[in-house]
Amino acid sequence: MEAITIRPNYNRAVIIAPQKVSYLEEKGWSRKGNTCQGSYKTSKGTWRGMIEQKSGEWQYHIYDPPKAILHGEHQACFKHVGNNCWWIHWSTKPRSLSEGILNIERLIENTVKSRKPQTTKRSWWERFIEGG
């Protein structure tokens, strides 16, 4: 991948160099042969994961996934394979290991309600609108 030059104005140019570390490495995943181990990390929490190559394809797994995912609109994408582990089915396969990890983290982020306790008191109207 080559550097990209952006010219916000004609007086100077900003050069954006390609990232040297993959998202997989940046997030602390380790790879040994055909298996990657790590965690899907979001602002909602962290979930242990594994990615393994079988029959030439990468298969993504998550351990003890959030219940919101298992009972939400993507529940058909998760198949229990034992030992609190779920295999993740893709409608569109990720182009890289990093893209797969990022997509799963994005799904968790968009599906799971925050685990953090509510720090500000909400009005009755806000509670009514949010369903709680």
pLDDT 10s digits, 83-115:
999 999 999 999 999 999 999 999 999 998 755
Give 37-84 pLDDT, tens digit per residue. Answer: 999 999 999 999 999 999 889 999 999 999 999 988 888 999 999 999
Residue boundaries of the structural domains of the chain: 20-111
Quick check: 118 pLDDT over 60? no
User: What pLDDT does 71 receive?
Assistant: 87
Which pLDDT score is estimated for 113?
Answer: 75
* pLDDT, average across residues 2-13: 60
Give me 14's structure tokens. 């900003």
Neighbour-count burial of 102, counting CB atoms closer than 10 A to its CB (0-12 exposed, 13-18 middle, 19+ buried): middle
pTM above 0.75, yes or no: no
Close Cβ partners of 20 (under 8 Å, ≥ 6 residues apart) = none
